[in-house]
Chains A and B, each alone.
Chain A
Amino acid sequence: MVRYLIRRILWAILLFIIITFVTFVIFFMGPNDPARAQCGGDQAQAACLKLVTEKYGLNKPLYVQYWYFFDRLVIHQNLGTSYATGQSINQAIGKAAPVTASLVFGGAILWMIIALTVGVFSALRPRSLLDRTAMVFVLIGISAHPVWIGLIFEYVFGVKLGWTPIANYANFFGAPADSGQPGGPWQWFYHMILPWMTFSLLFAALYVRMIRANVMETQNEDFVRTARAKGAPENRILVSHVLRNALLPVVTMLGMDIGVALGGAVFTESVYQLPGLGRSLIIGVQANDFAMVQGVVVFATIAILFFNLIVDVLYAWIDPRIRLT
């Protein structure tokens, strides 16, 4: 187990180096002039350009620049400053990340609740009314784009029915006293309901289908028949023998989908004007703020690596066959 852990961590570190390098090269080769961006774009003064070039070593070779970048990132945990606002990117991400985390994790919990209940019941009663209805829901969830879904939800639940707010974010720990914005756990929850629903729909649909298929397949396994031959009641067979095995691949998928979900969060955040990482990314791209874009990408990379590591460890814990390899 310890060896497995060490190997996974070493892998994560190697992946981190490779991904940051590739990201760095892409931004290095892109139509991106950091010196000009820092000096105010088209009106840049020659003196300023020179100063910035020297300060950041922008005339040095690629590998030296990457080393500066890597050193700044790892030793000082510093993602740099925004070209557009001059603000520290660490601070900007520190503000945006909790919003995205609320969306992604709240959404993941919601989609797993939906997928587990609907998926398992569909598998137990294949071709029943519930199963058929669920499959229609799956088709809609997979086909419909989150932006479109978001707009529909806003219109129906927010405007027509007036049940929920249609946009904006409320801080879980309360808003700043003078901001006049809503805050606190209830307001946070209240504002996140629609974003969670929008965000979850696609994944809920995908996972319903996956869980249904896995449960149906596992029900035909020999060891399930063994459990039945032992005289185990059906609910015990389902929980202890079928689900434990059927959910193994789901855990793997969950780890892989955290990355995909971060990408999907961009759409949901822009529909509901949530000040998360996705919105920072869009604003960064629009403002030619490559430092910001790079910061978000690197941060997302670290987050994905971290959650994949957690999933690997979790997987080893739930599947004994992995542990010793």
Chain B
Amino acid sequence: MALLEVNDLKTSFRTEDGVVGAVDGVSFSIEKGQTLGIVGESGSGKSVTCLTIMGLNAKRNTISSGEALWKGRNLLTMKPKELREIRGNEISMIFQDPMTSLNPVHTIGRQLEEAITLHRDVTKKVARARALELLKAVGIPRAEQRIDDYPHQFSGGMRQRVMIAMALINDPDVLIADEPTTALDVTTQAQILALMKRLQEDFGSAIIMITHDLGVVAEIADDVVVMYAANVVEQAEVHDLFNRPQHPYTWGLMGSLPRLEADVERLTQIPGQPPSLLRPPSGCRFHPRCPYVMEVCKTSYPALEPSRDPDHLQRCWLDQETKDREAAKLLETTMAEAG
């Protein structure tokens, strides 16, 4: 049995202008110790998917359906108390902006200890020792002194390390990381990613990595879900996705990866804007921006179906030959650029 199995998850928000379908039918599962990457542009529903699983959306004006089975129990219908016992204990989460994710009026030691004492009946001394151990594990220098410092005395990268320490402190089965490196500068990003990889080996946690950066996915993920406008458009094992991408949106994402070796004046980009989820386009949601658009795309939406490989799901009307040809072309240019 999968650790976490998400089936046809839907989340929508009631707003003054109407109902916004932020997540529309997402399914995936994750096994022990694995890493799942969820990729997509801002507003594609990747964060909301995870917030829904954690029950962290504002209750008012949010409608969710489908199921998120945690060791066989549905998180979406669980009582708040049961869900609290899982949050931060079996499933924990780190967020995009480390500058605002820590409480400014408590020392980081106190915030780490709180994470322990909420779930374990231990003395303050034991909790503090564990907090110190984790701060050392995430590479905070002089942890013995810094444990009594306040968040504002830490840099962004160090705060994200503290967040990671806090998330791992109860040895969770799954760690959900919502764009953990987006707010950090590039050198720090690489350090944090390396840290997460190392800790995953030490702690054996599964990771759900939400990102808009395919580079991060290539580095860390085992399986990938590509989301566009609240839908999954492609879902595959990571090598399969990079070797045989099947969806024009994924091609666009790969084409817009910056490459040092590439002899091009500008980065290629996907033209146009992500659609409004209040009034999504008819037919395929990607059709207004798709360079391969056909008549059928404008009227009917393709289902998420296996391509040649049954584990490689995609949602596109193009015939298999075209897809294979384009994927091969993309791979060729990438290889050629890489020399």
**A positions within 8 Å CB-CB of B:** 221-223, 225-233, 240-241, 244-245, 248, 318-321
The 5 closest A-B pairs by CB, nearest first: A231-B88, A230-B88, A231-B87, A222-B100, A320-B150
Cβ-defined contact, A232 with B93, below 8 A: no
B103 contacts which of A223, A229, A231, A233 (Cβ < 8 Å)? Answer: A223
Interface residues on chain B, number (Cβ under 8 Å): 29
**B213 within 8 Å of A by Cβ?**
no
Name 15 interchain pairs, CB-CB below 8 A, sorted by A: A222-B101, A225-B56, A226-B95, A229-B54, A230-B87, A230-B114, A231-B84, A231-B85, A231-B115, A233-B84, A241-B103, A245-B104, A319-B105, A320-B150, A321-B104
- Cβ of B331 within 8 Å of any chain A Cβ, yes or no, is no
| Dominant secondary structure of chain B at its interface with chain A | loop
The answer, yes or no, to whether B128 is at the interface (CB within 8 Å) is: no
- Give the Cβ gap from B116 to chain A, nearest Cβ, in Å: 10
- Which residues of chain A are within 8 angstroms of B152 by Cβ–Cβ distance? 320-321
| Given A320-B150, A321-B150, A230-B102 contact (CB < 8 Å) | no
Q: Is B166 an interface residue (CB 8 A)?
A: yes
- A318 to B106, alpha carbons, bound, how many Å? 10
B35 within 8 A of A: no
Apart from the given pairs A229-B88, A245-B103, A319-B104, 15 other A-B contacts in the complex at a CB distance below 8 Å: A223-B103, A225-B101, A226-B95, A226-B101, A229-B54, A230-B87, A230-B118, A231-B84, A231-B119, A232-B118, A241-B103, A319-B105, A320-B105, A320-B107, A320-B150
CB pair A228 B56 closer than 8 Å = yes
Residue ID in chain B nearest A233 by CB atoms? B84
Closest to A242 in B: B103
B56 → chain A closest CB, angstroms: 6
* Interface residue ranges of B101-128 to A (CB < 8 Å): 101-107, 114-115, 118-119
Question: What separation, in Å, do the CA atoms of A223 and B100 have in the docked complex?
Answer: 6
Chain B: minimal CB distance from A267 (Å): 37
A324 to chain B, nearest CB (A): 8
Report the separation of the CA atoms of residues A318 and B87 in the bound assembly, to the nearest whole angstrom.
Answer: 29
On chain B, the residues within 8 Å of A225 by CB distance are 56, 95, 101
**Docked complex Cα distance between A298 and B166 (Å):** 53
Chain B residues with CB below 8 A from A223, complex form: 100-104
